[in-house]
Chains A and B, each alone.
Chain A
C-alpha cells in the first residue's frame, strides 16, 4: 500500500529524480563544504602568506617565462664591497657582534617556491587558497544579503498584503520610492554613505534588494487572506499575527525559498561588481570581485591563471545555483509548466 507523502517530501523526491538537479546539488554541496571549511580555518587558512615567488608558475606549466622563476635569464650578481667603502662604513666594527647575536635566534626563511599548484599572484600567494577564501567571502555575502532581503521583503510584504488599507498605501509608497531609483545607483548611494566592509555590503545589498520579494509576497498575501482556511482561523480566534505567520506563511514558503535562491545569485554578482569597483569587501580581504580587479594588470603580463581560477570558480557556482533555482521552482510548484 502506498503511503501518501507530505508536500516537502514529494517536492524533495521530484527534485532528486531530476538528474540535472542532482548534479547541481552535488556541486553546490561541494561549494558549501568549502565555505564551511574555509570559515573554520581548515582550508585556505594561510591564503595571505607569500609562499611562492611573485607570479609563481602553475605546476603544469613550470617553464612559463617568469623573471623571478627558475628559468630566469636574470642571474643574481653578488655585489662585492670594496675596501674603500668598508673603511667609511660606521657599522663595520659591529658586524661580528651583530652576526653573533642574530645567531642566537632561530631563523627560518622558507625558500619561496618556483611553482604553485595553480600559480601565484603578484605577491606569490597561492591562487587555489586565495580562490577558496574569495569564494567563502563572496558566498557568505551573497547568502547573508539574500536572507536579509527576504526577511525585510517578507515582513513588509506580509504586512502590506494582509492588512491592506492605509498601511498598504504607505508601504506601496515606500516601494515606489525604492524602485524609482535605478538599482545599482541606489546601491552605490548607500555604499557612499555607509563605507566598506563585509557586514556593510550585506546590509547595503539586503536593504536595497528587498523590493522584488515584497511585491511577490504582498500579492500572495492578498490572494490568501480571504481564503477559507484563513477565515476559519479567524473564526476560532487566531490573532492577526498568528494568521499571518502561522497559517499563511507555510503556504507561501515555497515562493520564499525560490526567491531566496534567486537573490543569492543576484547578490553574488552584485558583490563581485561592487568589490571590483572598490566599494565592497575591503582590500585586506579577498573576494571574487577583488581577484578580477587584480587580473586587469596581470593579463597584460600574460599571467592568466588567477583570472581562470576566479572565473571558473564563480561561473560554475552561479550556473549551478541558477539551474538549481529553476529545477527547485518546478519541483515546488507541480502545477507550473515550464515554457
Chain B
C-alpha cells in the first residue's frame, strides 16, 4: 500500500513538471512583453527597462524558468499586475467564496441526482423513466448561458424573489440571500447530465447475476436497489463526484461573472481581460496540482470502495 502510494506520488512529478513547463512556455514565450503592459499608456524606455529588470525578464529563459519554479513552491507569485495585491493572498481570499457557492451545488447535485437516478432506474422502462430521461436530454441541449441569463431575469428581476447580483462580507447573509439563486440555477444545469450518467451506472449494475441472486433469495426490490445495487454503483458515482472537486475552486465562471460574485472564476476572467499574467499562472498551476492530488486520492478511494481492486 505505502509502496503503491510512493510510486503513484512519484508519477505525479513528470506531470507537474509538464504543467509548469506548459504554463511557462505559454506565458513567458508566447505571452508578449509584460513590461509594455505594465509601463502604462505612455511608456518611457527607462521605465520599461526598469520593469524588465524587476521581473527578471532581462535574464535568459532558464533563469526565468527557475524563478517561476521557485514561485510555485514558495507560494509567492509576487503581486498582481493590475491591482498590486499579492497573488497568494488574492487566491486565499477568493477561493472560499467560490466554494460557498459550488460546495452547495456539488452536495445538492449529488443528493438529488443520485436519488433521482435510483428512482428512475428502479422504474426502468416505465413512462416516468422515459419522460424524465427525455426532459434530461432536452435540458442538456440548452446552453448553460441561457439558464443563467433567463433565470436571473425571471427570479431576480420579474419576480423579485432574490437580489439580482451581489455579495457581502457576512457568510450568513451570503448563504441566505445571495447564494440561493446562483446555486439553484447551477443545479438546473448540472442535475440533468448527472442523473443520466448515474442512471446508466445503476442500470448497468442491475443486469448482473448478483442482482438476480438477491431477488431469488427473496430480497425486496427496495433492498436490492438500496443495498445491493447502490453499493456497487457507488464506485463509479463516487469517482465521478471526486473528479469534479477541483472545479469547485474555480466555481462557475459564468455564474460568478453574471451574479458579480467575487470568487476565483471571476478573478480569472478579470485577469484574462487585463492580461494579468501572474494571477492566471498561479491559478492554473495550483488547480493542475489539485487535480493531480484528487486523482491520486480517487485511486486510493477505489480500494476502499471495491475490495477486489488490488493496488500494486
- Chain A residues packing against B (C-beta within 8 Å): 173-174, 176-178, 180-182, 184-186, 188-194, 269, 272-273, 276-279, 289, 292, 295-296, 299-300, 307, 311, 314-315, 318-319, 322, 339
One digit per residue, 1 when the CB lies within 8 angstroms of any chain A CB and 0 when it does not, for chain B 28-41 equals 00111000000000
Q: Interface extent on B, as a size class?
A: 35 or more
Q: Is the interface of A mostly helix, strand, loop or mixed?
A: helix
B262 interface residue, CB < 8 Å from A? no
B253: which A residues are within 8 A, CB to CB?
184, 188, 273, 277
In this complex, what residue of B is CB-closest to A299?
A: B153
Q: How close is B43's CB to chain A, nearest CB, in angstroms?
A: 19
Q: A182-B246, A307-B150 are in contact. Are A279 and B254 (CB under 8 A)?
A: no
Whether the pair B254, A273 counts as a contact (CB closer than 8 A) is: yes
Asked whether A273 lies within 8 Å of B280 as measured between CB atoms, the reply is no
Proximity bits, B123-157, A CB within 8 Å = 1, else 0: 00000000000000110111111100110010001
**Known pairs A186-B284, A192-B280 / 11 extra A-B pairs, C-beta < 8 Å:** A176-B15, A182-B287, A188-B269, A269-B144, A272-B143, A279-B273, A299-B153, A300-B153, A315-B143, A318-B143, A322-B140
- Given known contacts A184-B253, A188-B280, A189-B280, is B149 in contact with A307 (CB within 8 Å)? yes
Residue in A176, A184, A339 whose CB lies within 8 Å of B18: A176
B259-312 residues at the A interface, CB under 8 angstroms: 268-269, 271-273, 275, 277, 280, 283-284, 287-288, 291-292, 295
User: Could you say which residues of chain A place their CB within 8 Å of the CB of B14?
Assistant: 173, 176
Closest to A181 in B: B288
| B250-A185 in contact (CB<8A) | yes
Q: Are A193 and B31 in contact (CB under 8 A)?
A: yes
> Chain B interface mostly helix, strand, loop or mixed?
helix
How many residue pairs between the two chains, A and B, have CB atoms under 8 Å in the bound complex?
Answer: 118
**Is B275 a contact partner of A273 (Cβ separation < 8 A)?**
no
Nearest CB on B from A334, distance (A): 21
| A268 to B: closest C-beta gap in Å | 9
B203 touches A339 (CB 8 A): yes
Taking a contact as CB atoms under 8 Å apart, the answer to whether B143 and A182 are in contact is no
A188 to B23, CA, bound (A): 12
B55: interface (CB < 8 Å): no
Given A192-B280, A277-B257, are A177 and B18 also a contact pair (CB < 8 Å)? yes
B49 close to chain A: CB less than 8 A: no
For residue B272, which residue of chain A has the nearest CB? A192
Known: A190-B26, A269-B144, A318-B141. A180 touches B247 (CB 8 A): no
Cβ–Cβ contact A188 & B287, under 8 A:
no
For B254, the closest partner residue in chain A by CB is A273
With a CB–CB cut-off of 8 A, which chain B residues contact A276?
Answer: 145, 254
Q: Which of A189, A296, A318 has the most CB of B within 10 A?
A: A189
Please name the 4 residue pairs, one residue from A and one from B, whose CB atoms are nearest each other, closest first.
Answer: A177-B18, A192-B272, A319-B141, A299-B153
Q: Which residues of A contact B30 (CB under 8 A)?
A: 193-194
Of all chain B residues, the one with the shortest Cβ separation from A186 is: B284
With an 8 A cutoff between CB atoms, is B51 at the interface? no
Kindly identify, within residues 223 to 256 of chain B, every residue whose CB is under 8 Å from any CB belonging to chain A.
246-247, 250, 253-254
Bound Cα distance from A159 to B284, whole angstroms: 28
Bound complex: CA of A314 vs CA of B15, how far in Å?
38
A300 to B: closest C-beta gap in Å: 6
Determine the distance from Cα of A192 to Cα of B144 in the docked complex, in whole angstroms. 22
B27 CB within 8 Å of chain A = yes
A168 to B150, alpha carbons, bound, how many Å?
A: 47
- A residues in contact with B26, CB < 8 Å: 189-190, 193
Q: Given that A191-B272, A277-B253, A339-B203 are contacting pairs, would A292 and B146 also be in contact in the complex, using a CB cutoff of 8 Å?
A: yes
Question: Would you call A192 and B277 a contact (CB within 8 A)?
Answer: yes
A–B Cβ pairs within 8 angstroms, 22 of them:
A174-B18, A176-B15, A177-B15, A182-B287, A186-B284, A189-B27, A192-B275, A192-B277, A273-B144, A273-B145, A277-B253, A277-B257, A278-B273, A292-B146, A292-B149, A296-B149, A311-B146, A314-B143, A315-B143, A315-B146, A318-B143, A319-B141
| Closest residue on chain A to residue B283 by CB atoms | A185
Q: Which residue of B lies closest to A292 (CB)?
A: B145
What string of 1s and 0s marks CB contacts (under 8 Å) between B1-28 and chain A? 0000000000000110011011100110
